[in-house]
Amino acid sequence: MDLRYGMNPHQRPAKVAALDPGRPPLRFLHGAPSFVNVLDAAGAWQLVREAAAALGGPVAASFKHVSPAGAATAGPLDVVMAATYRLNPATTGRLTSAYVRARDADPKSSYGDFVAVSEPVDAELADLLRRVVSDGIVAPGFEDGVVATLAAKKGGRFLVVEADPAFRPPSVEHREVYGMRLTQPCDDAPLTRELLGEGLPGAAADDLLLGLVTVRYTQSNSVAYVRDGMVLGVGAGQQSRVDCTRLAGAKADTWWLRRHPAVPAGDQDKVQDRVAEQLRRVELLDAADREAWLAGRDGVAFVSDGALPFADNVEHAARHGVRYIAEPGDSIRSTDVSAECDRRGITLVRTGIRLFCH
């Protein structure tokens, strides 16, 4: 099918075609996608499908620029989420809760996101999506009437994409770059609880597993902070891993500071305006209030797609309430990393699997 344009508007014409025309992995039910829209839909769908299979429940992701801004399992909505998105926590369905928890990780970055959910979209989630700024959604199905509701978004330009949940990619993948063709096996190394060993609390194991799946579909270098089934901060695409750790930590800090009693949810009409007000209030907190509130965090999990090269990553992660770390291991300073974890009371898991995404 023809695309609106390639990576940029001046890259025309652009097309997408399934390798097997009789079994396309994605069906575009409404809207005209761009090259990046296709990449976002494919990456976001793979993330939620894999995470849902690993964790056994609904998962949602909020994708921007070929990396997740947030990902989450279904779960409770706190008072900030409920007020920000105008939802009743007692009656909100599981699929909607998963998306709210995913988007709320970094709502500023999720402005104009591509949504992915692991289960068919129902009327409740469609109604929420009418009220937030997003570009499209990919899901394994849509309940009756939902496609029409979503198709009306953005003046009829909202993208509605149906994924085939039974599709599995070929075992070998190819990429053409600068007149060269690169070939490699598909990255299908299983991410399971067995990678994490024994002795972890169940919630910590789930958070580490969600983090592992998330960084698999995040542009490298990448790290993720996770707590209670929610990714609270993603660091993507930095040349220095510790810069990823700092950036993602700052996002996790902002998420926590939005829960400060001095940061009300706001009473503006639009979700993005309520978020903007929260972020403005966060900036007005004085240093002592910020430090005291941030000190209350604990039980955060931290995942790195590549080996931690220096102990400074552990030092920075510890400042954000991290108590569990999963990384491949086998860097030349792995002993220093392990010693720093021991010194700070952090449980370190070495998975032996690097998860670079480029």
Residues 106 and 205 in one domain: no
Count of domains for the chain: 2
Residues 205 and 278 in one domain: yes
Place of tokens 């903007």: 276
Residues 216 and 166 in one domain: no
The one catalytic residue in 64, 153, 251, 260 is 64
Residues 162 and 220 in one domain: no
Q: Which two tokens stand for residue 156?
A: 């009829």
Q: Which domain, by its residues, includes 162?
A: 26-174
CA 324 to chain centre: 19
2 domain residue, yes or no: no
**Ranges of the chain with pLDDT below 50:** none
Residues 209 and 139 in one domain: no
Q: Measure the CA–CA gap between 3 and 12, rounded to whole angstroms.
A: 9
Say whether 154 is catalytic.
no
Residues 204 and 346 in one domain: yes
Place of tokens 């194991």: 205
Would you say 230 and 300 are in contact if contact means Cβ atoms under 8 Å apart?
no
Residues 107 and 244 in one domain: no
CATH number of the domain that 101 lies in? 3.40.140.20
The one catalytic residue in 30, 221, 316, 320 is 221
Residues 122 and 201 in one domain: no
The one catalytic residue in 10, 15, 88, 358 is 358
Residues 83 and 200 in one domain: no
In the chain, where does DSSP find H-type helix?
Answer: 35-55, 79-85, 94-103, 123-130, 146-151, 202-216, 241-257, 271-284, 287-294, 312-318, 334-344
Say whether 65 is catalytic.
yes
Would you say 314 and 343 are in contact if contact means Cβ atoms under 8 Å apart?
no
Q: pLDDT tens digits for 106-120?
A: 999 999 999 999 999
46 domain residue, yes or no: yes
**Strands 113-117 and 159-163, how do they pair?**
unpaired
Angle between helices 202-216 and 35-55 (to 10 degrees): 160
Last residue of some domain: 126, 144, 174? 174
Residues 146 and 206 in one domain: no
328 domain residue, yes or no: yes
Residues 6+ apart with CB under 8 A from 202: none
Q: pLDDT tens digits for 156-205?
A: 999 999 999 999 999 999 999 999 999 999 999 999 999 999 999 999 99
How many percent of the chain have pLDDT more than 90? 98
Residue 266 has a pLDDT of 80
Say whether 10 is catalytic.
no
Say whether 174 is catalytic.
no
Residues 196 and 338 in one domain: yes
Q: Which two tokens stand for residue 341?
A: 């974890």
Residues 243 and 155 in one domain: no
